[in-house]
């Protein structure tokens, strides 16, 4: 049975990627973003979950996706902090996370 992404509440921030297929620009740009920013992603305790055609083997699709494609940033509290229909979210993603109250307590030294 598919798990709810809420199992990550208060443990991980989430980046939810909903796309049609592997040729979609959202998928391609997200994979590049991940490969270019591994350290920054890990440092910000960010878990990335992909939904292809609204399906994921491990997780049930969240209600807020409702047949939409895009990228959602989910905070520790399980709430949507940002959403974009394209890769423009990556331009401000780390700034958004770094401005979150709990993130300010996590920042000690820049590891990356």
pLDDT digits 0-9 by tens, 36-82? 999 999 999 999 999 999 999 999 999 999 899 999 999 999 999 99
State residue 102's pLDDT score: 87
pLDDT at 110 (0 to 100): 65
CB 54 within 8 A of CB 18: yes
**Contacts of the segment 101-110: beta carbons below 8 A, 24+ positions apart:** 102/75, 102/76, 103/44, 106/44, 106/45, 110/43
pLDDT at 109: 65
- Average pLDDT (22-42) is 96
Instruction: Identify the structural domains of the chain with CATH numbers, from first to last.
Output: 5-106 (3.40.30.10)
96: pLDDT confidence band, cut at 50, 70 and 90? very high
Spatial distance between the Cα atoms of 42 and 39, rounded to a whole number of angstroms: 5
Q: What is the pTM of this model?
A: 0.92
* pLDDT value at residue 112: 79
- At 24 the pLDDT is 95
């Amino acid at each position: 049975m598919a798990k709810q992404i809420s199992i990550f509440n208060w443990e991980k921030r989430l980046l939810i990627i909903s796309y049609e297929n592997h040729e979609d620009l959202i998928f391609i740009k997200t994979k590049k973003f991940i490969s270019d920013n591994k350290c920054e992603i890990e440092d910000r305790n960010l878990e990335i979950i992909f939904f292809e055609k609204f399906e994921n083997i491990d997780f049930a699709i969240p209600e807020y996706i409702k047949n939409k494609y895009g990228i959602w940033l989910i905070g520790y509290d399980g709430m949507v902090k940002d959403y974009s229909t394209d890769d423009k979210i990556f331009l401000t993603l780390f700034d958004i996370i770094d401005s979150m109250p709990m993130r300010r307590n996590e920042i000690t030294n820049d590891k990356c």
